Amino acid sequence: MLSFFKDYKKFAIVFAVISIIIIVLIYNTLNVYKPLNIYQPAMVSTELVDSTIQYQKKYHKIADFSLINQNGKTITQEDYKNKIYVADFFFTTCQTICPIMTGHMAEIQEKIINDDEVMLLSHSVTPKIDSVAQLKRYAKLKGVNDSKWNLVTGDKKQIYDLARKSYLAVKDNEYGGEFDMIHTENFMLIDKKRQIRGFYDGTNAEDIDRLLEDIKILKKEDSK
């Protein structure tokens, strides 16, 4: 009888060890690290991409830029060097999707307020209307933290080129005029190498949650 219990104890220990190994293997299988896409122009709808790069399949990065923020400060790519950031396009007088987008960007700001690796960048598509003074008023109204979030204006052609040649995010308006850039609801997640790693509907709360989770994935990627 004593021998039986000894054998049973050994069996129980072996069974427990095997069970733990199986559980660990299953957990690791279900939680395999999946890197985010690195988006190229050829992967995005052609209506959002300048015709000169629509078929580009690799090496796409955000171009250098020089724009003016809500405080009259010149903002360049150097201000975002070694940063993960979320970018979008908007205008302060927009009464449709912009208030929702700005509200969600403010929520993201709140989540990353103490994270030195993450910033926000919003480009005006109506730079003539959105002067520095106008952006400053808007920033105060929307609770923009100057250290985390730049609202930028500047040369219209540069903004247009950034929108369609870098961020792949703005539609062309064939009718031209002040609104020859038709911005979308897209938020773009940019990594520290200036690559686009995700597109998100800035009016959709679930997409904002997904964006925040993807920021965590990028941070893990950088730590490896």
Q: Which of 100, 48, 128 is nearest to 207 (CA)?
A: 100
Tokens of 166: 């870098």
Phi, psi dihedral angles at 6 (to 5 degrees)? -65, -45
Helices (H) and strands (E) in the chain, counts: 5, 9
Q: Is 71 helix (H, G, I), strand (E, B) or coil?
A: coil
CA-to-CA distance for 15 and 19, rounded, in angstroms?
Answer: 6
* 104 labelled ligand-binding: no
Q: Is 213 helix (H, G, I), strand (E, B) or coil?
A: helix
* 60 labelled ligand-binding: no
* 183 labelled ligand-binding: yes
Here the contacts of 11-17 (C-beta below 8 Å, separation 24 or greater) are none
Whether residue 33 contacts residue 137, with contact meaning beta carbons closer than 8 Å, is answered with: no
Tokens of 42: 């050829």
Q: Which residues belong to the annotated binding site for Cu cation? A: 94, 98, 183
Annotated binding-site residues read: 94, 98, 183
